Amino acid sequence: MPRNAAAATTPKQAADYGGLSAEQLVEFYRYMYLSRRIDDREILLKRQQKIFFQISCAGHEALQVAAGFALKPGYDWFVPYYRDRAISLVLGQTAEDQLLQAVGAATDPQSGGRQMPSHWTSKKLHIVSPSSATATQCLHAVGIAEAGRYFSNHPEAAAKVDGDYRQFKDVVFYNDEVAYTSIGEGSTSQGEFWEALNTASNNKLPVLFLVEDNGYAISTPVECNTPGGNISHLVANFPNFFFAEIDGTDAVASYRALAEAVAWCRSGKGPALVHGHVIRPYSHSLSDDERLYRTAAELEADALRDPISKMQAFLIQEGILDQEGVAALEKVVDEEVQRAADAALAAPLPSGDSILVHQYSEDLDPRSPAFATEPRQTDASERTMADLINLCLHDEMRHDERIVVFGEDVADASREDGLRSGELKGKGGVFKLTYGLQKAFGGDRCFNSPLAEANIVGRGIGMAVRGLKPVVEIQFFDYIWPAVHQMRNELSVMRWRSNGAYSAPMVIRCPIGGYLTGGSIYHSQSGESIFTHTPGVRVVMPSNALDANGLLRTAIRCDDPVLFLEHKRLYREAYGRASNPGPDYMVPFGKAKIVKPGKHLTVVTYGAVVPRSLQAVQKLEREKGISVEVIDLRSLSPYDWEAIAESVRKTNRVLVAHEDMISWGYGAEIAARIADELFHDLDAPVRRVAGMDTFVAYQPVLEDIILPQPEKIYAAMKDLVEF
């Protein structure tokens, strides 16, 4: 019980309060009031221009404190959204922690001044760094729950995880944890919310979804956002769920429902969804003025349901506290918030030197010599790129029990009876690159996902946060776009935005490119520059079997998110076949390969344009006696600028060739940097050869014109040497 809180002498039994004692109810109110007073202090600081943004938890306090009381900090996992101030306080954050984020202090324990206020994060408390994006976090909670279940079944994998897991040898630690995630009612319109419900329901995962329904998505009222105006009615038919719809301004009702929901999840029966009707007494944020779209009568009705005044009246009515006790409690909290604000305003601001810290892993740099190993030939037979990718996946899954592989159609067969009986051979991916993984390692290590790309990447982020190493597949690059939200706003920035507290080192394998004869618009796309423009993600694209094997192993063993682009045309080409280099062969990122030395002209390229460039070079050398150096970048982000610069200084002429569209393409950056930094070494303008600024057509005659062919590369090289 807080100091100076005068309690009644004859409180009711805890059973009358949903299992909460009188002392707990006082503490319950203290957290509610603390949350509200931090909101009020931030509003004051914003008006004084001492902080730069404010969004409040006001009106949600009772529901959130109830969730915090029902769950276990540092044991359960929490993937909150930006209104979850009160639950974060219950879990163990302090007023000073939260106000440090408001001012953007260097000592902000959540992000070091990188995230705006209300992005609660704590490694110790298992509060996972959230973003401002809506609903993306629901899939992370699903992945976190999946990882917990995986560790309970694979203690050998848990033993390999850094951090918390090393101290827990008892598998029971993982058996009944709950993954909590919260969401505003407006955000339930997002696809990731429904994808998360789908997987949690199908897999009976212990995920607690808390819908905090204050009736508005900024200015859009619930009836315009949700059919029928009630999300509970829409989700009611999901199997395996516990559902509750409650008055989220009622502390006892909220706790009773959430305690039941948590018990359901812990029992292994499946997920739970609690829909709490709360209020929003303040505007959406201080950047919004709700008086423009809400009537005075509506605001007055909300004020009558304010959980702070309701809880205060309840404590007095029940004889748990008297007026003097309430005043004493509030005075202590007010002083606490004042001290926290003073400390936050006096805290140092971050320096410019900190900007790039934690953008990538500082502990395991995939560019380092540690990832440069020599091939160890185990047999003389030459294998395709597809073969050596498949072999690498087998080797790495044997090497590290934390690796799980999933995506659309990647399993041999989801219905395993046919595999065990031998009746089914198994699929193993549309290109057969994951063939045999399920049979070798089991259906909990290689499995099919729903046909939903955001689901694949979002769940993978949650798994990676927990310490698994997901290697997921997006079936075709052309269908990666639903996952881009997860990749750009979540995966790439997890380490940076949490100031190194969390990371999500996963591998996204993705077939890419055209030259397929009939691939057309939706099976021939490139677009790698979109992802090389995203800090925090490594992007690689091998052109041959040996590099594919070594780069994939580096991708899996490094500690950064990696987009691993596999050109479909090269999977089974005669070009670039190689023997098995052994289970430890690695190629470092950011190291190009000189696939053909030369002295008169440099060609910088990658992917399927490498063999096409070599064809053009052979013709040019045969006909004109020109010596051409061909650089295969292999790694696009990071890329090997030193190799490019050294070659251009030697040849004084350079052609950049790639498959994607020429305008705003990957080659534009390389060409611009050469012109900027190597201008005095050039004897001719920098030239580019690339695809036309359009999509790939179905008819081969058109495809041949749209994509760069050896003839076009030959003509560009000839023009350059004749300049």
* Residues written for the chain: 723
Categorise residue 43: left if φ over 0, alpha if ψ from -120 to 50, beta otherwise: alpha
Residues 6+ apart with CB under 8 A from 391: 383, 549, 580
Which two structure tokens, joined as six digits, stand for 346?
Answer: 């006096």
DSSP state of 432: S
What pTM, to 2 d.p., does this model score? 0.95
Sheet strands (E) in 234-303:
242-247, 272-277
Q: What is the pLDDT of residue 23?
A: 96
| Known active-site residue 523 | yes
pLDDT of residue 157: 87
The crossing angle, in degrees rounded to 10, of helices 95-103 and 323-346 is 40
Alpha-carbon distance 662 to 647, whole Å? 23
Which CATH topology does 381-570 take?
Rossmann fold (3.40.50)
Euclidean distance between CA atoms 477 and 526, whole angstroms: 7
Structure tokens at 480: 């990666």
Query: In this predicted structure, what is the pLDDT of residue 7?
Result: 45
The C-alpha atoms of residue 76 and residue 93 are separated, in whole angstroms, by: 15
The pLDDT value given to residue 166: 38
End-to-end CA distance of the chain: 85
Segments making up each domain of the chain, as ranges: 61-302, 381-570, 593-722
Q: Give residue 102's Cα distance to chain centre.
A: 24
CATH of domain 593-722: 3.40.50.920
What one-character DSSP code corresponds to residue 130? P
Other Cβ atoms less than 10 A from the Cβ of 229: the count is: 14
Among 687, 693, 695, smallest CA distance to 712 is for 687
Q: What is the pLDDT of residue 10?
A: 53
Residue 105 is encoded by which pair of tokens?
């202090």
| Topology match between the domains 381-570 and 593-722 | yes
> Which one of 60, 119, 154, 523 is the catalytic residue?
523
Distance CA 117, CA 103 (A): 8
Residue 670 tokens read as: 């390389």
Cα–Cα distances (Å) from 553 to 375, 587, 614, in that order, read 12, 8, 27
pLDDT along the chain (723 residues), means of 10: 41 82 97 98 96 95 98 97 97 98 97 96 97 96 97 87 46 74 96 98 98 93 93 97 98 98 97 97 89 92 95 97 97 98 98 96 94 87 96 97 97 89 90 96 96 98 97 97 97 97 97 94 96 97 98 98 98 94 97 97 98 97 95 98 98 98 96 97 97 96 97 97 93
Amino acid found at 316: I
Q: What single-letter DSSP state applies at residue 122? A: B
DSSP code of 268?
T
Write down the CATH number for the domain with range 61-302. 3.40.50.970
Tokens read off for 363? 């502990």
